Structure 1
Amino acid sequence: MAGGLHDSQFTNPVVRWIDQRMPVFTMVQKEYGVFPTPRNFNYFWNFGALAMINLVIMIVTGIVLAMHYTPHVTMAFDSVERIMRDVNFGWLIRYAHANGASMFFIVVYVHIWRGMYYGSFKAPRELLWMLGVAIFLLMMATAFMGYVLPWGQMSFWGATVITNLFSAIPVVGDTIVTYLWGGFSVDNPTLNRFFSLHYLLPFVITGVVFLHIAALHITGSNNPLGIEPKGPQDTLPFHPYYTIKDSVGIVVYLMVFAALVFFAPNYLGHADNYIPANPMVTPPHIVPEWYFLPFYAILRAVPDKLGGVLLMGGSIVLLFFLPWLDSSKVRSLRFRPISRILFLLWTVNFFVLMWCGGKPAEQPYVLISQISTLLYFAYFLVALPLLGRFERTLPLPESISVAVLGKKAHGGGHSGGGPLPGGATAKPMEKA
């Protein structure tokens, strides 16, 4: 072999020629072919792949929409209507993009819920978890700015309310609001800023997603039992087992996505956003999109503006510190009976906050929001640290293979060897 060429294992001459000079196929084969993954994944582990699919859908549809959208306060609303009526399949692209945001958050919420239930945030995966929370924050910023772009009533007043929250920050708050607005009110400079950032942030998200995946492939995946693989008998090569399983999940997901786009495209939206923005008419009830409602309820639970902003921000920042707030050595809540009950109650409480966030800021909804906010923070700051110290956990299985296959698993396991697509040959996986 000529000096400087990679020693490619692929036999296909074209693939081999490329791989010798840029070993991208070897990298993909290593990370998504023979990569050892726990053999006991359930369908909750599909949601990472679903999030990737959704991100691609959002970027592709967003680029097409940007070709026809006009970021100007006198033309933005009409340009969206033109997309819906005059652009070939514009209605489909717009509905896929608008509902894709909701589907994206559904997938990510389930992904976060799975990570919390099975302890995927614990050592050695703390950085993996923190990168995931960073992606969630970037998604929230991107979705908020995207919601402003149609320049309907809820777009305009939502932008006015949320950007005004920064004025609660002492000393620099008003300056931040002025920079966000580009003037002294939400107007054309604001719309231009939000359009520019809404276009940019998905590519920032993509970069953080690659870091997230890199961190995952260094530490390896967690699993429903929350115990580390002890040898090749506990793992399977990612392909074909989990590529097929992910494909099944993706097909089902796209069917649900299509049903929403074709049969209920406005179900998750707000009717007021089909009214052009009017700074002189305030809607009777200003609400954000449904995926922001729990945090909106926390914001409104505190009468003080600064206190509400701090609590709302703290409700998300707490997730960054979850690996240290939960002091238990056992990852999965399968083996922590009291923690499992409290976590399921916390999940119900999260939906209560979501319900309260969509209601007017009046009694009894304010009182319920206050109680639910107290319970939300009590779970992270009181329950998790104490349970880690005093909870009696159930005995952990001896290994993944014993839990899945029984004692016969001691006789060995799948080695990961054999032929691979493209003519490459996999080497047996070494023991962890």
Structure 2
Amino acid sequence: MALLVQKYGGSSIPSLDRIKAVAERIAAAHHAGHDVVVVMSAMGGTTDQLLTDAQNITAAPPPRELDALLATGEQASNALTSMALSALGVEACSFTGWQAGILTSHAHGSADIIDVRPYRVRSALDRGVIPLVTGFQGLIYGGADVTTLGRGGSDTTAVALAAALKADACEIYTDVSGVYTADPKVVPEARLLACLTHQHMHEMAAGGAKVLALSSVEYAQKHSVTLHVRSSYNHCPGTIVSDEFFDVTYAQQSPTVIAITHNPHSTKITLPGRPEPAPPPLHATTATGRSTLRSSPPRAGHRDVPCDEYTATASLIGSGLCAHPETLATLRRTLTHAAIPFTPMTMTDTRITLMCPPSYLADAVRALHKAFLAHTPQPQLPRHNRQLTLQP
């Protein structure tokens, strides 16, 4: 049987009834003979409420104290899930991130995982106990203060534990059935992707897909961790993210474009004053990027950086995009025909990103999906990998 790390996001546990349902799923995997490690996010809405509480106290809460506060959300859901498992007759034990050996950098609110020493987790598994670990948090390496990993940090906690424990797979449970060819809320006809490479998943996360945190995909890619994105509300097979069997799969089907992603909150930054005659490049970034630019020492010609706060981006994700000029031609023709204003921004073999006004973004995503993916077959798992994790 397999060693599985299962992560449950806040959307999977918005209530006590859902915590009980998640406990039943965990127990089912345990009874099926799997060794299971569980990583829990805070219950839906908890982190936002804690942030609001802190800001109602002070507009600038000390970062150390804010981390100490936010860490309590995952601790509560973790302990409650352990209790729910015990009520089902399954022995379980909850651990905080630091008790589980998650060691991080010093950056409160956005710490990076430096090392994972899961001795107590391994010991619990050896005793037949299900260890539950709080996601999103750890302990400063060489220090004694709690840190948090930023939004999506529970994904990264789960992947890091899977890598350290050499798990067979890391199952990311959410409120959708897997990774789709586009956001189903924007494109109702979007299709579930059975499988993706780490690189394609990385490009999708970087392009705005919210199903997995970018940092978790980067960690999984670096440590060759197989990811399995699934719904905690059904038993749909979900999406496998792995590089183990894709050389053959993609060589056979070679889809030029496999998904359309979007980000409504990007920002266009123009860097003027370059001495060369070529026009300055445009870059998309987040609010973090804007604050970094504005706080950096001024460079010659870059004293004032104009930022357009109302730029959105859409991306084509695929393979060999630079080798197929017709891809960019189809993109231009599609958006021009739909009267959608846009500016091409970046183009690589695996991602083409364009900018457009936010009011046109949904129409752009739908038009591109129809042009590139309406009749394109998607990669399927080879027959011998379709029961990769054996999870019921």
Instruction: Please report the TM-score for the alignment, with normalisation by the length of structure 2.
Output: 0.24
Task: Give the structure, 1 or 2, with the largest relative contact order (CA under 8 Å, sep 6 or more).
Answer: 1
Pick the structure with more helix per residue.
1
